[in-house]
Amino acid sequence: MNGSLALCFGTRPQVIKASVLLEAMRGCWSVTTLDTGQHYDFELNELLYRQLGVPRPDRFLGVGSAEPAEQTAAVMTGTAEFLRSERPTAVVVIGDTNSTLGCALAASKQGVPLVHVEAGLRASEAGLPEETNRRVVDVLAQLLCAPSHAAAEALRAENLPGSVTTTGDVARDALLRHMKLAGPPENQGSFALATLHRAALTSDRDALQAVLAALGEVSMPVLLPLHPRTNQALERFDLKSRVPVNVRLTAPMGYLESIAAVRDAAVVITDSGGLQREAYWLHTPCVTLRSETEWRETIECGANVLVPPLDAPGTLRRVAADQLHRRQETLWAPDAYGDGRAAERVVTAVVDLLDGRGGGG
C-alpha cells in the first residue's frame, strides 16, 4: 500500500497491544512508531519491549508523569511535532490513556485521519479518567475498531462520525502469540493474584485500606505485584505496615510472568481491565474491585464478579471462594473478544478507510 502509518502508544498495556499491531501493519505499510514515555520504569516499559521483541520506537517523547492535563498537553505537543516531520497517512492510537488522548488530539489538529483501536468501551463511574479519554477519542476518530460486538453497538448508538467495525481485541492476539513463551505452570491453584492501580483506589486511603484488609481475609496466599503508583500510595497513606501477612508484595511483573501468574492463580483479584480479560481467556476465575466493568461479557458468563472496594472487607473472601467453586459452571465463550486475529482485521479496516471504502460495518 502507498502511504505510511504512525502507531502511537505510551503505557505498558499499549506496548503489549502495539507488538501485534505493528507486525500486522508492517505487512502493508511503512510504519513509524511513537512512544510517549508515559510509562518509563524498567518493568513498565523496557522489559516489555525486550520480552515482546518490539523494536525501539522511532520517537520517544519522554513525557513521564505529571498532572493529567499537563501530561496530555505534553503528549499532544510532542506528537504534533512528530506528525509534522513524519507526515503519516493515518495515525493509530490504542485504548484510553492520557497518551491515547494526547496523540488523538494532535492527529485531529493536524488533519491526519485517526484510527482508534479498542473503541466503544463505556462506563458510568463518575470521574473515571479513562472514560473522558475514550469518549473524546471516539468522537475524533475516522475509524473505530471495537473489541466486541457490544462495544460496536455502543458506538453505533452514539451516531459518531467515524466508521465502526468489530475487530476483536488485540490483547487476545498478544496472549495467544506469547503464551507459549510463558514457561511451564508453577504452584497452580495455590495462590490468588491481585493487582491494584486505578486512581479510584490509589487516591483514596479508605478504599485502599479496605482492599488490603479484604486481601488479608482471603484464605490463601495473595501475590500482589505493585504498580509504582500503588507503592507510592501505600507509603503516602502509611499503609505499608497494614499489608496482611498472607499478601506478598513484589515489583511489577513483565508480561510473560504476568500471564503465567494469571494462568496459574486460583483466582485473580484486580481493578485492571487487561487482567480481567486475560483471566477470562485463561479460564481463571476473577473478582473485579470496582462497581462496574467495561468488559461486561466476562460478568454475564459468570467468569468475573464485581466487588466495590469499600464493600470488600467481609465480602471478597466469600466471593473469591464462590468463584472458585463455580468455575466448572462458567461458560467460557472463547470468542467474546475475537479469535486472535484482531490486528489483521484492524489492518483490513485501515486499508478500506484509506481506499475511501469506509472501514467496515
Question: Is 11 a binder of ligand UD1 (CB under 6 A)?
Answer: yes
d(CA 250, CA 138): 36
Query: Closest distance between ligand UD1 and the C-beta of residue 127, in Å?
Result: 11
Residues between 125 and 144 with contacts to ligand UD1, criterion CB under 6 A: 129-130
Looking at beta carbons only, is 33 or 230 nearer to ligand UD1?
230
Question: Is 39 a binder of ligand UD1 (CB under 6 A)?
Answer: yes
Query: Closest distance between ligand UD1 and the C-beta of residue 35, in Å?
Result: 12
Question: Is 294 a binder of ligand UD1 (CB under 6 A)?
Answer: no
* Contacting range for ligand UD1; rule: CB under 6 A; set: 36-44, 148-156, 291-299, 337-345: 36-44
Looking at beta carbons only, is 229 or 317 nearer to ligand UD1?
229
Question: Is 221 a binder of ligand UD1 (CB under 6 A)?
Answer: no
Residues between 156 and 215 with contacts to ligand UD1, criterion CB under 6 A: 197
Query: Closest distance between ligand UD1 and the C-beta of residue 105, in Å?
Result: 14
Question: Is 33 a binder of ligand UD1 (CB under 6 A)?
Answer: no
Looking at beta carbons only, is 100 or 165 nearer to ligand UD1?
100
Judge contact between 158 and 138, C-beta under 8 A. Answer: yes
Query: Closest distance between ligand UD1 and the C-beta of residue 196, in Å?
Result: 10
- CA angle, residues 118, 122, 125, in degrees to nearest 5: 135
Question: Is 36 a binder of ligand UD1 (CB under 6 A)?
Answer: no
Looking at beta carbons only, is 163 or 195 nearer to ligand UD1?
195
Please give the residue ranges that form the binding site for ligand UD1 (CB under 6 A).
11-13, 38-41, 44, 65, 96-98, 129-130, 197, 228-229, 232
